[in-house]
Structure 1
């Protein structure tokens, strides 16, 4: 994968600016074209009263238009200041499907972790996971908590031998080619006799010019795999985690794998996910 077209999701949330800054750094590093995709919730954020409905509706549309203008102005100002080749898109229609459609024409997505305390960050139910799983493109999910740095010097690849894990490692190659430290981390309980392990993945990476170490993450009593992995990220001061995104649709609801769900809810560092 060559990173020549990046797409960053923008909205009216407090974290949208940080997400844009992260995407611009990545785009500049790879001399890539940056698409700013503005997609916000279609659901009303205030109660709708029958009396005065037309007045309320007009006010809502006016506010939406003003918010989009503000976001667009910020996007143009920031990308021009950074010298990034960029374009703005604000498609209509159902936001999740619009995001998936436009994402399929990009090499890499930059999305934001859901912030339950910021209602402006809500786009649609399962928006984040639906875009990751439905787009067919790798996505870097940026956490909402704490300062986010676009450096990728210290990288961890979470390897479990599955299809999604292999896809994520391949998609990450152009991003981690200049990393100072790359660690292939396998989970103790996922090791099977005869299956390619961390040392085999490290050898594959070396043939791509990437020096990588490997380690096995032992389980901690009382902690699930996702929590154990989160602890390892903090202990090792990881800049980027690379992992597969596991999920499937059931009864019209997105059901995620345990580690994927934990990361999307509690991430502390940017995570590149592929499905």
Structure 2
């Protein structure tokens, strides 16, 4: 298994360039084709609260067109300089719907955590989380804080025995096979049986695929959520990638995220490969 087609989300945010640069690096690793998908907020009213209130819808449309062209030229120029096989897409239509459709034809998505301080990072309510849960493809979500200097050298797998976790581990195999260190960690809750879920079995399965992984359990401290515990563990081990299942369900036309998934989307400190 390898990643032959990558899809990177492009927007007008200050973090988009770093996300594209990382996607370029990943495309080089696997000699993959890279799709740059330009999707931004479609709500003409939202910018009025963040930008110049004197702009009329027609002026906003012109502004969007200018930004889109700038992103297009920057992306293709950088790709040409890097000598990569790329494709630019800027499909019309509702942001989440078109992003989900295009994402389903890629092996790996490269997305960015929404920065609440950057209005241009807003595409739609829970855009990244909804895309992760709806696309049916693994998604590498990059935190907006800090700089990603390495990716996939030291990897921590968050294991709880669930279908989502199993999917995430399988989806991460191309990265796991190239890693220097791989750890499988279970957050152990009070009263939980010491051997359940069997993370050591996951390590054995990975070994069959040529991935040598260690296995450990981390005690869950009262008052600290499982997601926060995992992020603390990742920090302690100096990992540069966390692999975790993404959880959520639909309710009243809106997806409800699991506690760990919401913590990752809101508070991630390292890139997270999420599978659903």
Q: TM-score higher than 0.5 here?
A: yes
Give yes or no for the alignment of 1:37 onto 2:25.
no
Does the 8 A contact of 2:250 with 2:256 survive in 1?
yes
Does the 8 A contact of 1:5 with 1:108 survive in 2?
yes
Does the 8 A contact of 1:110 with 1:140 survive in 2?
yes
Separation of aligned partners in 2, 1:87 and 1:153: 28
1:72-221 equivalences under 5 Å are: 72-189=72-189, 192=193, 195=196, 197-221=198-222
- State how many pairs are aligned: 269
Separation of aligned partners in 2, 1:237 and 1:222: 23
Q: CA deviation at 1:57?
A: 2.0
Separation of aligned partners in 2, 1:43 and 1:196: 44
SS in 2 for 1:146: coil
1:250-261 equivalences under 5 Å are: 250-261=251-262
Runs of 4+ in 1 over 2 A off after TM superposition: 189-196
Does the 8 A contact of 1:22 with 1:150 survive in 2?
no
SS in 2 for 1:46: helix
Separation of aligned partners in 1, 2:249 and 2:262: 12
Does the 8 A contact of 1:25 with 1:150 survive in 2?
no
Separation of aligned partners in 1, 2:169 and 2:148: 22
Q: CA deviation at 1:151?
A: 2.5
Question: How big is the alpha-carbon RMSD for the aligned residues of Structure 1 and Structure 2?
Answer: 1.5
Q: CA deviation at 1:194?
A: 6.8
Separation of aligned partners in 1, 2:150 and 2:177: 15
Q: CA deviation at 1:195?
A: 4.8
Q: For residue 249 of structure 2, what is the aligned residue in structure 1? A: 248
Q: CA deviation at 1:221?
A: 3.2
Q: CA deviation at 1:26?
A: 0.7
SS in 2 for 1:183: strand
**CA deviation map 1:77-130 (0-9, x unaligned):** 111111211010000000100000000000000000011111100001121111
Gaps of 5+ in 1: none
Does the 8 A contact of 1:246 with 1:260 survive in 2?
yes
Tell me the TM-score normalised to structure 1 length: 0.94
Give yes or no for the alignment of 1:270 onto 2:271.
yes
Gaps of 5+ in 2: none
Separation of aligned partners in 2, 1:150 and 1:62: 38
Separation of aligned partners in 1, 2:151 and 2:127: 26
Does the 8 A contact of 1:112 with 1:141 survive in 2?
yes
Give yes or no for the alignment of 1:227 onto 2:228.
yes
Does the 8 A contact of 1:186 with 1:216 survive in 2?
yes
Q: For residue 48 of structure 2, what is the aligned residue in structure 1? A: 46
Does the 8 A contact of 2:19 with 2:112 survive in 1?
yes
